[in-house]
């Protein structure tokens, strides 16, 4: 919060949203999120009737996980389930 000064509540809310999005997409890059975590996010958004947004977020996280050179395996979708396979 000291790096980015917030002048009002709108800029503070935008800063929180940007920070949360960065956190969400950096977790799979470093191998912290596993397919069960992504499946839980997908199920949560399906329950909230926001399937499009959930699919968009999970696919972005899956691409981030598969793109990372730090991960020795890949996440693929089979029968609406996310599974981990070796590269």
Q: In residues, how long is the chain?
A: 87
Structural domain harbouring 23: 9-86
In a domain, 74, yes or no: yes
Alpha-carbon distance of 54 to 66, in angstroms, equals 18
In a domain, 3, yes or no: no
Q: Is the pLDDT of residue 2 over 80?
A: no
Q: Chain-centre distance of CA 6, in angstroms?
A: 25
Per-residue pLDDT, 48: 93
In a domain, 46, yes or no: yes
> How confident is the model over 36-73, as pLDDT tens digits?
888 898 899 999 999 899 889 989 999 999 998 888 88
Per-residue pLDDT, 4: 63
Alpha-carbon distance of 23 to 9, in angstroms, equals 21
- Could you give the number of structural domains in the chain? 1
Global pTM reads 0.76
In a domain, 72, yes or no: yes
What average pLDDT does the chain have?
85
């Amino acid at each position: 919060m000291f790096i980015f000064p917030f002048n009002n509540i709108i800029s503070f809310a935008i800063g929180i949203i940007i920070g949360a999005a960065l956190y969400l997409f950096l977790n799979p890059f470093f191998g912290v999120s596993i397919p069960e975590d992504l499946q839980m996010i997908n199920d949560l958004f399906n329950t909230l009737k926001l399937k499009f947004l959930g699919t968009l977020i999970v696919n972005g996280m899956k691409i981030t996980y598969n793109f990372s050179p730090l991960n020795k395996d890949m996440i693929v979708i089979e029968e609406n389930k996310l599974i981990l396979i070796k590269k």
